[in-house]
Amino acid sequence: MKTSLYAATFLAFALTLSLEGVEPQQVGSPTPPGTKVETIVFLRHGEKPEKETGQLNCQGLNRALALPRILSSKFGRPDYIFAPATTRMMEIGAGGFDYLRPLATIEPTAIELGLPVNTNFGYTNIEGLRSELTRKKYENALIFVAWEHYELARVVKQLVREFGGDAREVPDWKSKDFDSLYVVRIISREATKSVSFTLDQEGLSNLSTDCPGARQQ
């Protein structure tokens, strides 16, 4: 009798040890097998000076420096980063300037993550950008796109419409809004594609208007 009791106790103890470290299986999966999701996070450049120079102002620079932790915490590490070509001049009145703001905004993120930035497309070349983003190589990628706000809204609406979504769900990007994130997910399942659009926020609208390291008077 004692032998049977000892054996039962030992078996129970061994079973307990064998189950330790075994993680519970998750019920269901957010992404069904065979499904690929391309996630494109569109962000506007940071705040700009009243007098156009193509540059950020100090508040915009502070936003750019804060973006790496915000974007990484929300979405993870991107596979690709895009910004407009800086050689495409923005015309204002009788003059113009090289358009640096989007690249300057995303550069701290690219630098921190050790990633290149694709600057092959001018800021008005939305058709070229849209065509690039829908290539097969990006079907399962996370992509950050820093751009000019008016053109951003255009390309997002085009993408949503192209894959069967309702472009009316995509709001126009307001001129004073530097904080929004437009997130497009293109879902590839066998021979079909669908799309979703969500609106998010960086949460960086109250940063200092002084440049980093500025001397306080």
pLDDT value, residue 216:
57
**What is the DSSP-derived secondary structure letter of residue 187?**
E
Fold (topology level) of 34-201: Rossmann fold (3.40.50)
Strand partners, 192: 189
Domain residue extents for the chain: 34-201
Could you tell me the two tokens for 5? 């009791």
Q: Is 160 helix (H, G, I), strand (E, B) or coil?
A: helix
- Paired with 75 in beta bridges are none
How many Å from the N-terminal Cα to the C-terminal Cα in the chain?
A: 88
pLDDT of the chain, 217 residues: tens digit per residue:
444 444 444 334 343 333 333 333 333 345 677 899 999 999 999 999 998 888 999 999 999 999 999 999 999 999 999 999 998 676 665 567 888 999 999 999 999 999 999 999 999 999 999 999 999 999 999 999 999 999 999 999 999 999 999 999 999 999 999 999 999 999 999 889 999 999 999 999 999 999 998 765 5
* Secondary structure element (H or E) that encloses residue 44, with its range: strand 35-44
Which token pair is 184?
Answer: 């497009």
Can you give the pTM of this predicted structure?
Answer: 0.82
